[in-house]
Chain A
Amino acid sequence: MRIVCPFCGERELGEFTYLGDAKPVRPEAGASEDEVFDYVYLRDNVAGETSEYWYHGGGCRTWLKVTRNTLTHEISSVEPAAGAGAAKVGA
């Protein structure tokens, strides 16, 4: 598998580390125990398109959000994760 880093171009899998599902959003402070449990532990086991966080640690050290189909391994989009690269963050 290869990932096209938006900064470096196409690179082999060995340069990247997988973090996990990019969908869960950290609940607001004061959220219920169920919401926090869901955020920390519960994951969908999707057969199809998922979004995931990958880290280009063997390259430009940027966090990426990768949209990948778990059935075909086809990657349909790779974009910098929020906060990747100082220019991408609001001043």
Chain B
Amino acid sequence: MAEFSWAPRSSLEKALVAGAHGTRGIEAGISLTEIRNFDLIQVMARRGQAAELAKVAKARFGVAAPNAPKAIQTSDATLIWSGPDQFFVLSKGGKHTMQTLATSLSGPASLSDQSHARVLISISDAKARAMLAKLSSIDLHPDAFAVGAAAATSMDHTSVTLWRGGDRDGLAVFNLLVFATFAESLWHMILDSAAEYGVDIGHSKEF
């Protein structure tokens, strides 16, 4: 029998070309980093079990899971609101996988492994907001979209989960989860929108 080795490959494997993109001769105003090798589990309360899930999740993660559009950082995971009574658990290194979460959460919740179903893009640097304003109708002003704010929204007719992570070098960092099969399309749209500001493209296994 033939032996297969299934090596995970990013949906942006071909589209992502690391290095500079767009306007040259200026300091890049946008930094685009695809985060690879993450664990992403969607947790959805079973019918009538939302209160029980909230209790169990708090015991599991040490903090309350988001019940409004927010992203909550725990010591080793990010809990991101994805709709009423549901949230994502984003982590790396196998700390929060289907196996490890099922024991505590599968009573009051349905779990779904989205690790290879989404692409995670981190958008930062001085012109990040200006670029995102072309794609999103969400108000990303710091007063309206502070660190830890999240939104289930659409960009270029594509459903995305957007949230603001911790600032880097005093500048906002926006994280974007998009369906893997739509990622390449959105990626090109992001590159076109960002080109005028100068873009620094890369990928990383670290958040």
Contacts and interface: CB of A to CB of B under 8 A. Distances in A.
6 contacts: A7-B69, A60-B152, A61-B152, A85-B83, A86-B85, A87-B51
Contacts, number: 63
B94 interface: no
B48 interface: yes
Interface of A: 7-9, 11-12, 14-15, 57-62, 80, 84-91
Contacts of B83: 7, 60-62, 85
Majority secondary structure of chain A interface residues (helix, strand, loop or mixed): loop
Interface of B: 44-51, 68-69, 82-85, 137, 151-154, 157, 159
Given A9-B69, A91-B49, A15 B84 contact: no
Contacts of A84: 84
Nearest to A57: B159
Nearest to A90: B48
A75 B7 CA distance: 51
B43 to A, nearest CB: 11
Contacts of B50: 85-87
Given A8-B152, A8-B153, A59-B153, 11 more contacts: A7-B83, A12-B137, A58-B154, A58-B159, A59-B152, A60-B84, A62-B83, A85-B83, A85-B85, A86-B45, A89-B48
B137 A11 contact: yes
Contacts of B45: 86-87
A91 B48 contact: yes
A79 to B, nearest CB: 12
Contact of B49 (A11, A59, A86): A86
A7 B137 CA distance: 16
B106 to A, nearest CB: 15
Residue of A9, A60, A91 with most partner-chain B CB within 10 A: A60
A86 B153 contact: no
Contacts of A11: 137, 153
Contacts of A88: 84
A8 B44 CA distance: 17
A87 B53 CA distance: 10
A80 B50 CA distance: 16
